[in-house]
Structures are given as structure tokens and as C-alpha cells.
Amino acid sequence: MQMTWREIVTAIHGMLFGGFFLMACFGVLVLLHRSFGARGNSEVTDQGRRRERIFLIVMVMLGWAAVLSGAYIVYPWYRAAVPPGVTNLELYPQRLLMSDPHTAGWHTLGMEWKEHVAWMAPMLMTMVAWVMMKYEDAGEEHRRLRAMVSGFALAAFLAGGVAAEFGAWINKKAPVTGGPVITLSQDGK
């Protein structure tokens, strides 16, 4: 069982950072939804608040890790220029997709949308997390603000979802691959 270095990094970008970020976004939506029916945040213990803060900070870090690793590590592999004379496009996913009219849309629609919309998710969730932490003691105002930011959290979840969904499909159609081969386990074991 083997994977290339680029496949491992792509998996870390998409499945670890991106996937866990999206799950955490969903968790925030649940938290916000629950608070609609609660009065302030008084029923949460100090330890609960501390855990909530850690959860929010980790979520924000995962979001930024996903977009930064995507834009500065994986995306350059995806959009690498094909050297003259090279006809095998396996290591050039963007060129591979664009070489066939049946797959070009995965780049012209999918990647072109994903590469930009993805940045909105951590930007919005940073704001949502900050508001949730800043106003956790503000009683009724806290409830109103949580209701307000829930719309932005939903938008962030959808933006992140678009990016993740297209990322997964694009990597299925034209996988980012190459680099040193890493053996995870010997065949048959």
C-alpha cells in the first residue's frame, strides 16, 4: 500500500484540515441553533465555556490551515505548467482536465469557484468565533448576536461545502499526484 507525497499532503489539506473544519462549522451551527431557545449563556459552566472557546479556536485554525495549505502547497501542484515535450499530463491535473471538453468544466467551473469561495469560510468563521467568545457574558445581547451571526455561519458552511465538494470531485477526476512514493504497508499484509 503506497501513496505519493503529494497525495498525502492533498489528503491532509482536504480531509484533515478541510473535513474537520466543516464538521466544526456544523457544530457551531448546532451551538447557535441551541442558543436561540436559551436565555443568555448562563446555563454553561466555566469549564463548558473554556471548552467552547478551545473548540472555536481550533475550528478557526483548521479553516485557515485548509485554505493556506490548499493555496500555497496543493494548488501549485494542480496548476503547474507542462514543460515542453511532455505529453503525459498525469502530473498536471489542471492541464489534464482542460485537455478534454468533457472534463474542462471541473476546472472552469469547479476549481475557479472553489479557489475563491473557500477563503470566505475561515474569514466568516473567524468573525463568528470572535463574536461568540467576546459576547459570551452579555446575556440577552449575546442571544441576539448569536442569532445574527448564525446566518454568516451558515454561509461559511455552504462556502466551505462548495469548496470541499468540488475539491473532492476534481481530485477524483484528475488526482494531484507525484513526488516521493511512501510505502504505508507491504502488499498483502
Partner 1 sequence: MSSPREAVANGAAGAAVLAAGLGCFALGLLAVAGDGSKAVARLLTFYRPTGPLSGVSTIAILLWLAAWIAGNRLWRGKTVAIGKVSGVAFVLLALGLLLTFPPFEDLLLGK
Contact residue for partner 1 among 134, 165, 169, 182 (CB under 8 A): 134
Binding footprint of partner 1, residue count (CB under 8 A):
37
- Written as one string, the DSSP assignment of 98-145 is HTSTTTHHIIIIIIHHHHHHHHHHHHHHHHHHHHHHHTTT-HHHHHHH
| Residue 148 is a binding residue for partner 1 (CB under 8 A) | yes
Residue 27 carries which side chain, given as an amino acid letter? Answer: G
Residue of 39, 50, 108, 165 interacting with partner 1 (CB under 8 A): 108
Nearest-10 crossing angle of helices 139-173, 112-134: 160
- Joined together, the cell numbers standing for residue 89 give 499530463
Q: At 29, which helix (H) or strand (E)?
A: helix 19-36
Q: How far is the CB of 27 from partner 1 (least distance, A)?
A: 19
> Which one among 56, 149, 170, 174 touches partner 1, defined by CB under 8 A?
149
Shortest approach of partner 1 to residue 45 CB, angstroms? 20
Burial class from Cβ neighbours inside 10 Å (0-12, 13-18, 19+) for residue 72 reads: exposed
Give residues in contact with partner 1 (CB under 8 A).
Answer: 67, 71-72, 75-76, 79-80, 108-109, 112-113, 115-117, 119-120, 123-124, 126-127, 130-131, 134-135, 137-141, 144-145, 148-149, 151-152, 155, 159
